[in-house]
Structure 1
């Protein structure tokens, strides 16, 4: 990785369609990854876990998350952030059309690997 600062524009980042209609773009550095994710009402993020710590910041819309340490789940709405520790099994259902940003530490190599099947159609 370069020691120089870098400027990115979301519009210039390649977009990938996952889970049928969900679109995602991401930017990564050596230690952090941020993904812009656009989901539609009714979309489902299947149960999974990863070694990466995750922050999900919902900008618009709402999502219902279930985490292995909270069987009732939690609804995350616009302006809210859910922190998902590494290794926690989680899933989500999209309650409204949603724009959210996922931040991962370390970066998720499965997002960068075009051959990885999780979340891809």
Structure 2
């Protein structure tokens, strides 16, 4: 799905991958420098606290999430975002079922 040859992707043609209890994701687009991923959470599901070398920006498409970035916690709703710089601990707890859109730089090779 490296979009370097085809710059378009249609959400309806992309499949979900189960990645944890109540959590599934689909890779929307990527090249070597950038990746966008949609992650759907059921109420109560957890995106465990973790860190990685990638810079990450997360956009809340829907739902309510308690986000933690570098020990700071905030409740986020549709339209809100958070930024997790490289190697900073971060994670979420889903308080109301919803979808996050994650953008990574560089792309997450471990996702493909």
| TM-score, with structure 2 as normaliser | 0.89
Tell me what 1:100 maps to. 100
Match of 2:68 among 48, 66, 69: 66
* Partner Cα distance (1:65, 1:15) in 2: 23
- Structure 2: tracts of 5 or more residues without a match: none
1:45–1:91 CA contact under 8 A, matched in 2: yes
CA deviation map 1:38-87 (0-9, x unaligned): 111100111110000111100111111122252xx111110111111111
Aligned mates of 1:2, 1:109 — CA distance in 2: 14
Cα distance 1:3–1:37, how it changes in 2: closer, same or farther (>3 A)?
closer
The residue number in structure 2 matching 1:118 is none
Runs ≥4 in structure 1, deviation > 6 angstroms? none
Out of 22-31 and 45-54, give the one that drifted further.
22-31
Q: For the Cα contact (< 8 Å) 1:38–1:99, is it kept in 2?
A: yes
**Structure 1 spans left out of the alignment, 5+ residues:** 113-121
Q: 1:22 to 1:2 in 2, by over 3 A?
A: closer
Q: Partner of 2:54 in structure 1? A: 52
How many pairs does the alignment contain? 110
Query: C-alpha distance in 2, partners of 1:49/1:82?
Result: 14
